Amino acid sequence: MFKNFNGKQSMKKQCITNVRIIDPKNSLDEIGGILINEQGKIEAIGKKVSELNASDATIYNCPKKIAIPGIIDMRVFVGEPGFEYKENFRTLSQAAISGGVTAAITMPNTNPVVDNVSTLDFIKRRSRDKSIIKIFPLASLTKNTNGEDMTEFGLLKLRGAWGFTDGLHCVQNNKVMDKILNYAKNKDALIVQFPQDNELSKNGVIHEGFLSTKLGLKGIPDIAEQIIIERDLRLLEQYNGRYHISLLSSKKSLEIIKSARARGLKFTVGVSINNLSLNDNDIGDFRTFLKLSPPLRSEDDRIALIEAVEDGTIDVIVSDHKPEDEESKRLTFQQAATGASGIETLLALSLELVHNEKCTLNTIIKSLTSNPAEILGLRNGTLSVGSEADIAIFDLQKPWVLNKENIKSKSKNTAIEKRKLQGKVEKTFINGKLVFSE
Amino acid sequence: MAINQNQAVKYNHKHLLGIQYLSIPEINLILDESLAFVELNRQENKKLKILNGKTQINLFFETSTRTLSSFELAGKRLGADVMNMNVLNSAIKKGETLIDTAMTLNAMHPDILVIRHQDSGAANLLSQKVNCSVINAGDGRNEHPTQALLDAMTIKMKKKKIEGLRVAICGDIMHSRVARSNIYLLNMLGAEVRVIGPTTLMPKNINLFGVKVFNDMEKGLEGCDIIMMLRMQTERMDGSYIPSTREYYEFFGLDYKKIKNAKEDALIMHPGPMNRGIEIDTSLADDINRSIIVQQVEMGVAVRMACLKILMENKV
């Protein structure tokens, strides 16, 4: 079994050469080399680095390729413990590294829920033993995600919880949320909210609009999202703690965010790649693989979200990787499971926005690497000298088609089957070790 | 409405899942075929052998009286072997999925499956998994195509045409599959379609479906030839959409006063079952000069016979 998290075992020096390096944290975008030392850390980087000053190193010559910090995916559902048949750390890792993802922020919606120190310990031990990628777990905000009783933020943080969220659920009770934001400030704990009002979205399965009326499906109005964002930001204003909106789906939510920021409030915002790549029309005649939460919204919303990524209103793009066995998708739309597997296509789909000239490459890489690292307080997400050599190398132009049989995740519930993609990961390094190569 | 023999219209689908998938000639084909069965059903000997040897399974996940018996009679009068699956007390209640049930039934080699299900899209899903033809007898709030066809047939019998008529669909539009199918069909056949109801029972963007939306019933009924009343689908509601049935009746219940706004010869339809005193005045519902609710039931059998026959003849 592959073990490298102590970073102590010795390896040969390695050098990636003639590659275009993009490291947004250091505003670096140049052709050069990356020298990885025996401890799996970055020793030197940039145009000065070539095979000449790395004669004793293993050389990976990657002309016309792009090297970026390993992707940090801020919203990932694993399945361990409780849903191992959907995904485990091993299968998740295989999927992740094939997409250049070297770290996953895992959601606490397991069975049992990660709401106490011992379950958190289990996740940490289990991921240490089985995972190739780095796992940074979030614990739940409330016990058993019941929305009422807050978890032990202080203790959980000490034992390695990087933040707190109810993941699939949203704290509804205003008083509870007020106390959470108040208490979390003491502990400098990151609070991550999935914004959705339960009553307004009750039984809803699809964006409320033309298509929900046509298909006769109960809609989720976008106000269900806005009302929680507005509430949370008003509460946050009193305490100014660390607060992150995990997913956003509607144009109107962006207005709320902009106006709160104009008032000087500090917080961060994420979006699922699904909401940037698809709209509700893609659901067509009841395609349950596109049943997502938050729902795919209108094309107007999608365009607005993409613009918000480019102008910096949205900080992070996530895969919202939610593996579901296919049987639970082969039901009526109302009954089918929600969510899509997507960690391995996160980068390729994000690059669509670059190819379509909607976003710059730098913005996209930033929202996948340095921004999530900064929000969570991780030292990863950069190629700075001295940092762990988590690196993804990809071919920006390479065309490919996503076929279900090539999906490495244990669950094949992709929302983009048969989609033509452009840009493919060819090598992934974690702590200087080549873990994926194609 | 005579059958035009020169027009070689074909029904180009394996299934009947919704009006939205049909073309105008296909709708007219079904209506023309139905006419012959209307005559047949009024005769003493109603039995034909068109579907001899065929097996029809009625798979109903929701309770139904008129639709189920109508499909059963239609199949039997055409000579098919008809089986009704009472799903309410069967394996599905024990956790079997729709697909599993479909595969089980499929293994018995039926020729036609008639399905009613509480979830929108259930008939579409079933049709992807079985080898036989599927007829949608109502799925969630999505479609109820044979209801719209029998409504069109009833209107045609009474008014001799559909094109140019002003039709108001009144009440709980949001939860109604009948409304959706009728909107598609009546629009295709050239009627002017209005929907009338409180804003809380109007689905989002319904105005984009080629209808005029009214929240004032008296205004909405002005100049109408046909008034289709819908049932309040309380079983599909998750919470309060209207203050009370009393208040609803006051503003949206059809009575002798409100109907004065419609044309003098306006006719009343209702897909049933009726909530007397909630959406319609009880004596108005029974007024033989106004109400054609009984004719709708009669047309139902004929239209369903036509659908069964066409699907069995047009193997696509």
The contact set of A with B (CB < 8 A) is 202-203, 208-210, 212-217, 219, 221, 285-286, 327, 330-335
Residues of chain A contacting B142 with CB distance shorter than 8 Å: 215-217
Instruction: State the Cα–Cα distance between residues A238 and B21, nearest whole angstrom.
Output: 55
pLDDT at B316: 52
B172 touches chain A (CB under 8 A): no
Mean pLDDT of B194-201: 97
A331/B208 Cβ within 8 A? no
pLDDT at B89: 61
pLDDT at A7: 47
CA distance A221 to chain B (A): 10
Residue B13 above 60 pLDDT? yes
ipTM of this predicted structure:
0.91
Q: What is the CATH number of domain A71-376?
A: 3.20.20.140
pLDDT at B212: 97
B119/A212 Cβ within 8 A? no
Across chain B, mean pLDDT equals 92
A216/B141 Cβ within 8 A? yes
pLDDT at A312: 97
CA distance A185 to chain B (A): 38
Residue B196 above 50 pLDDT? yes
CA distances A173 to A149, A190, A195, A393, Å, are: 10, 19, 13, 45
- What are the start and end residues of each CATH 2.30.40.10 domain in chain A? 14-67+389-437
Share of chain B above pLDDT 70, in %: 93
Query: Catalytic site residue A311?
Result: no
pLDDT at A2: 47
Residue B167 above 90 pLDDT? yes
CATH superfamily assigned to domain A14-67+389-437: Urease, subunit C, domain 1 (2.30.40.10)
The tens digit of pLDDT for each residue in A215-262 reads 999 999 999 999 999 999 999 999 999 999 999 999 999 999 999 999
- What are the start and end residues of each CATH 3.20.20.140 domain in chain A? 71-376
pTM, 2 dp: 0.93
The tens digit of pLDDT for each residue in B251-301 reads 999 999 999 999 999 999 999 899 999 999 999 999 999 999 999 999 999
pLDDT at B189: 97
The tens digit of pLDDT for each residue in B62-93 reads 888 899 999 999 999 999 999 998 776 665 66
- 3-state secondary structure string, chain A? CCCCCCCCCCCCCEEEEEEEEEEHHHCEEEEEEEEECCCCEEEEEECCCCHHHCCCCEEEECCCCEEEECEEEEEECCCCCCCCCCCCHHHHHHHHHHCCEEEEEECCCCCCCCCCHHHHHHHHHHHHHHCCCEEEECECCEHHHCCCCECCHHHHHHCCCCCEECCCCCCCCHHHHHHHHHHHHHHCCEEEECCCCCCCCCCCCEECCHHHHHHCCCEECCHHHHHHHHHHHHHHHHHCCEEEECCCCCHHHHHHHHHHHHCCCCCEEEEEHHHHHCCHHHHCCCCHHHCCCCCCCCHHHHHHHHHHHHCCCCCEEECCECCCCHHHCCCCCCCCCCCEECHHHHHHHHHHHHHCCCCCHHHHHHHHCHHHHHHHCCCCCCCCCCCECCEEEEEEEEEEECCHHHCCCCCCCECCCCCEEEEEEEEEEECCEEEEEC
B140 touches chain A (CB under 8 A): yes
B99/A216 Cβ within 8 A? no
What are the residue ranges in chain A where pLDDT is below 50? 1-4, 7
Residue B179 above 90 pLDDT? yes
Residue B94 above 90 pLDDT? no
Residues of chain A contacting B140 with CB distance shorter than 8 Å: 216-217, 332, 334
Instruction: State the Cα–Cα distance between residues B76 and A53, nearest whole angstrom.
Output: 88
Q: Which residue of A has its CA nearest to B140?
A: A216
Spatial contact of B229 and B280, defined as CB atoms under 8 Å apart: yes
B180/A216 Cβ within 8 A? yes
pLDDT at B90: 61
